Chain A
Amino acid sequence: MKLQEILKARGITDEQLKEVQEQDIPAAAESFQRIMDIYYLLKVTADMESAYWYNRVWWENDGDLLEVRRAKAVAASLAHSTPTILPYEKLVMNKTKHLRGAFPFPWVCASFFNSLAESLMEEAEAPAENEADSGSVVGAGGGNVTESYGEVISIAKKFGMRKEDIPVLVKVSKYWDGISVEDISTKYAKTLPGFEQFQNIMDSVLVMFDSFAIPQGREVMNYYMPLQYGFDGILELCDEKIAETMGETGGDGVLGMSRGYYYAAMKEIVKGLSQWCENYARKAEDLASREPDEAYKKNYLEIAQVMHNIAHKRPSTFREALQMTLCLHLGVVNEDPQSGQSIGRLGQVLQPFYEKDIADGTTTEEEVVELLELYRIKITCIECFASAGVSGGVLSGNTFNNLSLGGQNYDGLSAVTPLEYLIIEAGMRAQTPQPTLSILYDEKLPEDFLMKAAACTKLGMGYPAWMNNQVGMNFMLRQYDPEGMDLYDARAWCLGGCLESAPGCFLPLEYNGKVTMIPGGASPTCGTGIHFTGLPKVLELVLTNGVDKRTGKQVFPPHNKKLKIFDELLDQWKEYLDISNRIVNKVNNIQMDVWRKYNMPAVNSLLKPDCFKKGQHIGNCGARYNACINFESCGTITFINSLASLKKNVYDTKKYTLEEMTDAMLHNFGFRTAYDTGVFSPDYRESTDDAQKYAEIFADCINAPKYGNADPYADQLLRDYHMYLLHYLPTLESFFGKPEYLCQISVSTHGPQGFITLATADGRLAGTTYSDGSVSAAPGTDKNGVYALFESATVYDHSQNQNAQMNLKLHPSSVQGVQGTRKLLELVRTYMRKGGFHVQFNVVSSDILKEAQKTPDQYRDLMVRVAGFTQYWCEIGKPIQDEVIYRTEYEEV
């Protein structure tokens, strides 16, 4: 019997059902609201405390073994960071002394600061105009400091730094002039035959950025070691291991001796982490000693007790365990510029602690939800200090700390825990961009859990997104089989970064008199490699004989071919792609190799299994799985649609020559470009005098077959593309000596890479964004409904790649009421059953977004899903805003 028939039998009509709303969502805790009131006023701030202490201790230990020296420097930066505690907080610790704070890493990249040293000093020494100016706040876009004002200098158009910190920044940066990871790797990359080719590629923005820019992240945290042993316990283990391995090779004449040094380094980093916690305990006691209000005093003293306990012992309560995971997370993201350091399956990791506290009556569900709400603020406050290009162009200001839920447990059953319901509940009550939530959808998951998750998705924050657990597991077994991946470890996978499937493993946590197999990440970054290659730009260069017509530079050697048949065109695209990949991969390998030699992870090398077991840091392949470096694409569907148009209009119907098509694209089909108009929305068209000349060819390009309509003409091209990359990409070898694979996330790069790409044969105009994700339809081109889009998206096996990304925009009216929630879940389920890997939703009206673009101040808390992450509308760039507005809006599901 169908659901409607059952309801009808019970006297419930469709109309009545539409009126039914989910239970009203309770307000977030008062503590959350008080801190968010402050959060909305915060400016993103960079300061020099951590960088100063890193630099000082690094140089004071000149001559020591590199892994130990590095660990001492990271430990010092943590242990000297001034603790900041707000009276309303229950969870504490920040990246820096500021709530939305970050700091520069000149030892990774110093050239930016050194080249600006003189102008920065001039700016720092210039007096503020007057007292009123010095206190006024300039800057737009939520917390971004886009311009200097008063005593604050804007850096990378995002971070505000106090003028008095600038001389310190300049002084610290000087130490690294010529010897930063960037400088050393560039020095050796320049010895490569073809380095000029690399420069041409990067100058054209065909490939988006260097690997050292964010060398860690796009991976999953592993919290096991400190949860199992506590910091004092790990120190004892280090001593045992040092006694066992120091001076011994263990049969490995290359890396065997490193084991003893690794354990010595781990002692240093554990001492630093422990001291960091102790500092917060001491600060809380200090505040309590001066606090007149008894309630606040009590709160400070509770914080002090928690922080003192976890500074030494393994956590003994849920609150301590959550605080410990936060400490570890912040510790890792403070040792490198990072994005996408994902939390992983936290609700499964912490379930034993939650279960015990609830059973003992030492806490309540409401208290746990409050802590989880406060946790959301802490993760939202994680900032990454990187260049303007990386911060804005790639990250849109987000740092992608993803929290996964669901999937399968060690025994192959539903992994959903009671705590995971509360994590979703906290996400519904406390609406913040981070952590974004990801459901590892599996047919075994409880229906009420899936309905709760769908109800959350409906709220319009863009989370949770939905990933196919079986597809993810299959990818793990395919990619990591040579390193011993088995079914048990495959079950432990989850999302690293916004959408980078990352390998994991289960480890036995002994707590509360029993052993629980808890999941965690088991690899280094799954997201460095050949970063964000603009596929449509490669095609453009094929049509222009290798010349970037935007800049006039010859990017690739001229092919001088007539490209008389479609396969010749495609082969040339493959040839140019290969030229790009070969040289970019070599440079990337040098960059990451220099990074791992001088800047090896310290905190993360403590946490990732099997580093501690092997006695090797992450740079030495200490982690269990290392075939994790990839090729990242951008603009897949713009590329496919362009191919379809060329195939149709040039090679099949022969209506136009390739030269005529190219000429039309070079003239932007007779329209003004986005560079001229400043409007990047794909539907904005302003004619030039040439408009009539190109009207017909433009119409034919627009009307050419498009992906997303279950039309085999276009979809077959997508399938062929995937089959080609499946076999081609493993011919590239990473710095870990492993084969590479396809990662498909656009993040925000479809904005800047669209910006540098001329008009494309699908009718997209010059400078406008590419299609987002990898299997989203190009905006406005999916005419046959969402199920046709699903047909198109699943013409190839999604488990052959790290991911596939689909973004959908639903009008809120399409999913209203409980019935709407059911529809949304069925929509997800349909896609997953067809083998789709990922789908995420914006449930928002385009009219609201347009209004928010005009009056951003009235929409400070409006969030949208971009491509794998949620961000405040006012903190993302206009090209991406335009793209989100223009996405096809489904009014019915």
Chain B
Amino acid sequence: MKHVECINYINLDCEKGMCALSKQIVPIDGNGSDACGHFQPAPVCGNCACFADADKHGIGTCKGFEKENWTYAKCGAFCCEHYKAARG
């Protein structure tokens, strides 16, 4: 599990974020990017029960709305009206 996949991760830019708990800047990649024991999965499409059939790029199907459509696993879902956590 990575910091960037955690609910406590605050987005900063394409290479780093901030941990909402520790207030430390944490990298997305490489050394120091592994999450700590407080990890909880962030709401993204890839963690949603309505997400299925992802391809190698993480692009799959969203079945949460009246009209099915494609989406991608890393898409933020905090604001999605139909997000249902599949795990965590």
Asked if B50 is an interface residue, CB under 8 A from chain A, the answer is no
Q: Is the CB of A82 within 8 A of B23?
A: no
Q: Mark contacts of B62-88 with chain A using CB atoms, 8 A cut-off: 1 yes-contact digit, 0 otherwise.
A: 000001011110111011100000000
Of B14, B20, B32, the contact of A160 (CB 8 Å cutoff): B14
Q: Report the minimal beta-carbon distance from A150 to chain B, rounded to whole angstroms.
A: 6
Given A41-B25, A84-B11, A145-B14; A164-B74 close (CB under 8 Å): yes
Q: Which residue of B lies closest to A293 (CB)?
A: B23
Q: In the bound complex, how far is the Cα of B21 from the Cα of A292, in angstroms?
A: 7
- Within residues 1 to 57 of chain B, which ones have a CB less than 8 A from any CB in chain A? 7-8, 10-16, 18, 20-21, 23, 25, 27-33, 57
Q: Is the CB of A52 within 8 A of B75?
A: yes
Q: Which residue of B lies closest to A81 (CB)?
A: B79
Most interface-central of B12, B78, B79 (chain A CB within 10 A): B79
Q: Is the CB of B79 within 8 A of A132?
A: no
Q: In the bound complex, how far is the Cα of B32 from the Cα of A380, in angstroms?
A: 29
Q: Is the CB of B31 within 8 A of A131?
A: yes
Q: Is the CB of B30 within 8 A of A97?
A: no
Q: Is the CB of B18 within 8 A of A150?
A: no
Q: In the bound complex, how far is the Cα of B80 from the Cα of A81, in angstroms?
A: 9
Q: Is the CB of B74 within 8 A of A165?
A: yes
Q: Report the minimal beta-carbon distance from B6 to chain A, rounded to whole angstroms.
A: 11
Residues of B within 8 A of A290 (CB): 7-8, 20-21
Q: Report the minimal beta-carbon distance from B77 to chain A, rounded to whole angstroms.
A: 8
Asked if A168 is an interface residue, CB under 8 A from chain B, the answer is yes
Of B30, B58, B72, B76, the contact of A136 (CB 8 Å cutoff): B30
Q: Is the CB of A135 within 8 A of B79?
A: no
Of A82, A136, A152, the contact of B14 (CB 8 Å cutoff): A152
Of B7, B20, B25, B33, the contact of A135 (CB 8 Å cutoff): B33
Q: Is the CB of B10 within 8 A of A135?
A: no
Residues of A within 8 A of B71 (CB): 52, 56
Asked if A137 is an interface residue, CB under 8 A from chain B, the answer is yes
Q: Which residue of B lies closest to A151 (CB)?
A: B29
Given A85-B10, A160-B14, A290-B20; A132-B78 close (CB under 8 Å): no
Residues of B within 8 A of A865 (CB): none
Residues of A within 8 A of B13 (CB): 42-45, 98-101, 160
Asked if A86 is an interface residue, CB under 8 A from chain B, the answer is yes
Q: Is the CB of A86 within 8 A of B72?
A: no
Q: Is the CB of B11 within 8 A of A131?
A: no
Residues of B within 8 A of A160 (CB): 13-15
Q: Is the CB of A150 within 8 A of B12?
A: no
Q: Is the CB of B14 within 8 A of A161?
A: yes
Given A98-B14, A160-B13; A52-B72 close (CB under 8 Å): yes
Q: In the bound complex, how far is the Cα of B58 from the Cα of A41, in angstroms?
A: 29
Most interface-central of A44, A128, A152 (chain B CB within 10 A): A152
Given A167-B59, A279-B79; A82-B15 close (CB under 8 Å): no
Residues of B within 8 A of A45 (CB): 13-14
- Within residues 97 to 137 of chain A, which ones have a CB less than 8 A from any CB in chain B? 97-101, 128, 131-132, 134-137
Q: In the bound complex, how far is the Cα of B76 from the Cα of A145, in angstroms?
A: 23
Q: Report the minimal beta-carbon distance from B14 to chain A, rounded to whole angstroms.
A: 4
Q: Is the CB of A99 within 8 A of B12?
A: yes
Residues of A within 8 A of B72 (CB): 48, 52, 164, 167-168
Residues of A within 8 A of B16 (CB): 41
Q: Which residue of B lies closest to A143 (CB)?
A: B13
Q: Report the minimal beta-carbon distance from A148 to chain B, rounded to whole angstroms.
A: 11
Query: How extensive is the interface on chain B, given as a class?
Result: 35 or more
Q: In the bound complex, how far is the Cα of B27 from the Cα of A496, in angstroms?
A: 39
- Within residues 283 to 300 of chain A, which ones have a CB less than 8 A from any CB in chain B? 283, 287, 290-292
Q: Mark contacts of A137-173 with chain B using CB atoms, 8 A cut-off: 1 yes-contact digit, 0 otherwise.
A: 1000000010000111000000011101101100100
Q: Is the CB of B58 within 8 A of A82?
A: no
Q: Is the CB of A82 within 8 A of B78?
A: yes
Q: Report the minimal beta-carbon distance from B35 to chain A, rounded to whole angstroms.
A: 15
Q: Is the CB of B29 within 8 A of A97?
A: no
Q: Is the CB of B14 within 8 A of A87?
A: no
Residues of B within 8 A of A134 (CB): 29-30
Asked if A83 is an interface residue, CB under 8 A from chain B, the answer is yes
Q: Is the CB of A38 within 8 A of B29?
A: no
Q: In the bound complex, how far is the Cα of B79 from the Cα of A83, in angstroms?
A: 8
Q: Report the minimal beta-carbon distance from A143 to chain B, rounded to whole angstroms.
A: 8
Of A38, A165, A275, the contact of B25 (CB 8 Å cutoff): A38
Q: Report the minimal beta-carbon distance from A44 to chain B, rounded to whole angstroms.
A: 8
Q: Is the CB of B79 within 8 A of A151?
A: no
Asked if A196 is an interface residue, CB under 8 A from chain B, the answer is no
Q: Is the CB of B23 within 8 A of A150?
A: no
Given A52-B72, A60-B69, A98-B12; A80-B59 close (CB under 8 Å): no
Q: Report the minimal beta-carbon distance from A96 to chain B, rounded to whole angstroms.
A: 8
Residues of A within 8 A of B75 (CB): 48-49, 52, 168
Q: Is the CB of B8 within 8 A of A132?
A: no
Given A43-B15, A86-B18, A287-B20; A97-B76 close (CB under 8 Å): yes
Q: In the bound complex, how far is the Cα of B15 from the Cα of A137, in angstroms?
A: 8
Residues of A within 8 A of B21 (CB): 290, 292
Most interface-central of B7, B10, B13, B80 (chain A CB within 10 A): B13
Residues of A within 8 A of B70 (CB): 171
Residues of A within 8 A of B74 (CB): 162, 164-165
Q: Report the minimal beta-carbon distance from B52 to chain A, rounded to whole angstroms.
A: 16
Residues of A within 8 A of B27 (CB): 135
Q: In the bound complex, how far is the Cα of B79 from the Cα of A137, in angstroms?
A: 31
Q: Report the minimal beta-carbon distance from A34 to chain B, rounded to whole angstroms.
A: 9
Residues of A within 8 A of B23 (CB): 87
Residues of B within 8 A of A584 (CB): none
Residues of B within 8 A of A41 (CB): 12, 16, 25
Q: Is the CB of A135 within 8 A of B11?
A: no
Residues of A within 8 A of B15 (CB): 43, 135, 137, 150, 152, 160
Q: Report the minimal beta-carbon distance from B76 to chain A, rounded to whole angstroms.
A: 3
Q: Is the CB of A80 within 8 A of B79?
A: yes
Asked if A79 is an interface residue, CB under 8 A from chain B, the answer is yes
Q: Is the CB of A82 within 8 A of B76?
A: yes
Q: Report the minimal beta-carbon distance from B29 to chain A, rounded to whole angstroms.
A: 4
Q: Is the CB of B69 within 8 A of A79?
A: no
Residues of B within 8 A of A152 (CB): 14-15
Q: Report the minimal beta-carbon distance from A757 to chain B, rounded to whole angstroms.
A: 37
Q: Report the minimal beta-carbon distance from B18 to chain A, rounded to whole angstroms.
A: 7
Q: In the bound complex, how far is the Cα of B25 from the Cα of A44, in angstroms?
A: 16
Of B8, B11, B69, the contact of A56 (CB 8 Å cutoff): B69
Q: Report the minimal beta-carbon distance from B33 to chain A, rounded to whole angstroms.
A: 7
Q: In the bound complex, how far is the Cα of B14 from the Cα of A581, in angstroms?
A: 42
Of A44, A84, A151, the contact of B10 (CB 8 Å cutoff): A84
Q: In the bound complex, how far is the Cα of B20 from the Cα of A48, in angstroms?
A: 23
Residues of B within 8 A of A84 (CB): 10-11
Given A100-B13, A151-B28; A49-B58 close (CB under 8 Å): no
Q: Report the minimal beta-carbon distance from A239 to chain B, rounded to whole angstroms.
A: 23
Residues of A within 8 A of B76 (CB): 49, 80-82, 97
Q: Which residue of B lies closest to A287 (CB)?
A: B20
Residues of B within 8 A of A164 (CB): 57-58, 72, 74
Q: Which residue of B lies closest to A85 (CB)?
A: B10
- Within residues 275 to 332 of chain A, which ones have a CB less than 8 A from any CB in chain B? 275, 279, 283, 287, 290-292
Q: In the bound complex, how far is the Cα of B24 from the Cα of A87, in angstroms?
A: 11
Q: Report the minimal beta-carbon distance from A243 to chain B, rounded to whole angstroms.
A: 28
Beyond the given A162-B28, A164-B57, please list 13 additional residue pairs across the A-B interface where CB-CB is below 8 A: A38-B25, A45-B13, A60-B67, A86-B10, A98-B14, A99-B11, A99-B13, A135-B31, A164-B58, A165-B74, A275-B79, A279-B79, A287-B20
Instruction: Jot down 29 A-B pairs with beta carbons below 8 A, ordered by A.
Output: A38-B18, A38-B25, A41-B12, A42-B13, A43-B13, A45-B14, A48-B75, A56-B71, A79-B79, A80-B76, A82-B78, A82-B79, A87-B18, A97-B11, A98-B14, A99-B11, A99-B13, A101-B13, A132-B31, A135-B33, A136-B30, A150-B15, A151-B29, A162-B14, A165-B74, A167-B58, A171-B59, A279-B78, A287-B20
6 A-B pairs with least C-beta separation? A135-B30, A82-B76, A167-B57, A160-B14, A45-B14, A134-B29
